[in-house]
Chains A and B, each alone.
Chain A
């Protein structure tokens, strides 16, 4: 055990956190658009969003990483940096899952609320903004926090194809030098656990707390 190794693991942890936050930010924005597109009245838009979700959920993240890493250079852009490519792939991936989760939450808002809003003569956009989304937000918080765990775990894959140096990558480099897999991968696993477990617990607690009306 060496302090330089621990420092390197901590740097990896920071890179993991950065990638997770970027993914959540962009994936959240894209996911919101996907959710709205999915419930659109326009047949083409909603089918398009459904196809997008179907494709993203049927591809392994590794393949998506490869497509995002090598794809842009074909379109004439210079090759992306590992962080950009990883964020791009994870954004596409999580936008499909978040879109599907949020669509469920929007549709879970009680039917009379939609009808009442329509009776009040609100436009479709007003109804969404003032009536449906605030209530959907409440339903959406626990599964969204739960999905954050998935994002953090999925960032580990960013080291494989695009070579972004995050926690599991640094742990592997250290293991290559020391060959003490139980020790260093154990520490790396504990670090992931330290981020993910509080989120899991929080998600369950929020679910209980926000579910008061249905008890």
Chain B
């Protein structure tokens, strides 16, 4: 073994790496917000909407869940470009990732909604809650609380998968490192550094979700038990 490791050459690029980390985190944050909104809406439609709308949602979910993210990115981002619409690449990547994660979120939230006991809905009716109130307080919130662990690990996977959008030219952490790679030729070292950073980010995102969960679900915080 005569290989000389040279991590210093890679670490000298730390301002660029930091920029990449920031882009990855921003991308993850936007996709998390939009993804939960999209997935929540689709889950409501899928469990209580008109038949045609349910059909469209399940078509969307099945199609996204059974094709690779990479092909979805190519399809959406190059497709939008081919229609002559000029979008900033980061916006295109956000759209592609949101469409992808929205389908997974739909399935997870749907499972949560279906686990709500009928008695809860009857109780809500007896209390005279409106339809919107019932949805917000009796269905969506407890449903989210129940599937929260599955949801948060799905979003950690999203953060890791966001590295794929580097292939369409987004300069997030992985894209930036491609640039460093072509300037230093330190291929292996850069991947080791990247691995370390992504592991750290995964822990960070998981911790963020845990804190958010404590803030969002006070009942869980007080009792310390899952619903």
Contact = CB atoms under 8 A, between A and B. Distances in A.
Nearest to B65: A200
Chain B binding site: helix, strand, loop or mixed by DSSP?
helix
Given A157-B164, A181-B79, A200-B65, A74 B3 contact: yes
Interface in B76-102: 78-79, 81-82
A21 B44 CA distance: 37
Contacts of B71: 156, 167-168, 171, 185, 188-189, 192
Interface stretch (A33-41, A52-60, A105-113, A132-140): A52-60
B160 interface: yes
A14 interface: no
A181 B74 contact: yes
A196 to B, nearest CB: 4
Contacts of B190: 66
A171 B73 CA distance: 13
A152 B65 CA distance: 12
Interface string A182-197: 1001101100110011
A68 to B, nearest CB: 9
A122 interface: no
A71 B187 CA distance: 9
A49 B89 CA distance: 40
A63 B3 contact: no
A63 B191 contact: yes
Interface stretch (A80-88, A172-180, A206-214): A172-180
A58 B199 contact: yes
A156 B68 contact: yes
A75 B192 CA distance: 15
B191 A58 contact: no
B188 A70 contact: yes
Q: Give the size category of B's interface with A.
A: 35 or more
B198 interface: yes
A67 B191 CA distance: 6
Contact of B164 (A58, A62, A70): A62
A153 B67 CA distance: 6
Contacts of B164: 60, 62, 157, 160
Contact of B199 (A55, A172, A179, A200): A55
Given A58-B202, A60-B161, A67-B191, A160 B167 contact: yes
Contacts of A11: none
Interface in B180-208: 187-188, 190-192, 194-195, 198-199, 202-203
B82 A60 contact: no
B66 interface: yes
B72 interface: yes
21 contacts: A58-B198, A60-B174, A63-B191, A66-B188, A66-B190, A74-B3, A152-B68, A155-B68, A156-B71, A160-B167, A168-B68, A171-B71, A171-B74, A180-B82, A181-B78, A182-B82, A185-B71, A185-B78, A185-B79, A193-B67, A200-B66
